[in-house]
């Protein structure tokens, strides 16, 4: 859902070339195989893609993203 929100935000600002990086390979795989997008999100996804966005996606381990790593560790300690 966060990737979809980021794409919507980028399209409203007119940003057409995006590099999306995430630690969830399950979420990143939708950029390669559009049929894996959940049906509840397909309409919003198609609306964003109509803006002509060019998206490059890459995987980063959670430890490589300091902010996400600290938030995840904080969630484990609560």
Render pLDDT for 48-75 as a digit per residue (tens, 0 to 9).
778 887 777 777 776 666 776 677 777 6
Is pTM beyond 0.75? Reply is no
The residue length of the chain stands at 78
Q: Contact at 8 Å (CB) between 49 and 4?
A: no
Q: Is residue 18 within a helix (H) or strand (E), and if so which, with residue range?
A: strand 17-22
What are 4-31's pLDDT values in tens digits?
888 888 888 888 898 877 777 777 777 7
Structural domains counted in the chain: 1
Cα(7)–Cα(66) distance, rounded to whole angstroms? Answer: 23
Q: Which domain holds residue 46?
A: 2-77
């Amino acid at each position: 859902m966060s990737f979809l929100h980021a794409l919507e935000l980028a399209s409203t600002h007119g940003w057409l070339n995006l590099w999306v990086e995430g630690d969830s390979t399950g979420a990143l795989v939708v950029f390669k195989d559009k049929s894996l997008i959940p049906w509840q999100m397909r309409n919003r996804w198609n609306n964003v893609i109509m803006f002509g966005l060019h998206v490059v996606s890459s995987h980063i381990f959670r430890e490589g993203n300091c902010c996400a790593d600290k938030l995840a560790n904080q969630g484990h300690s609560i």
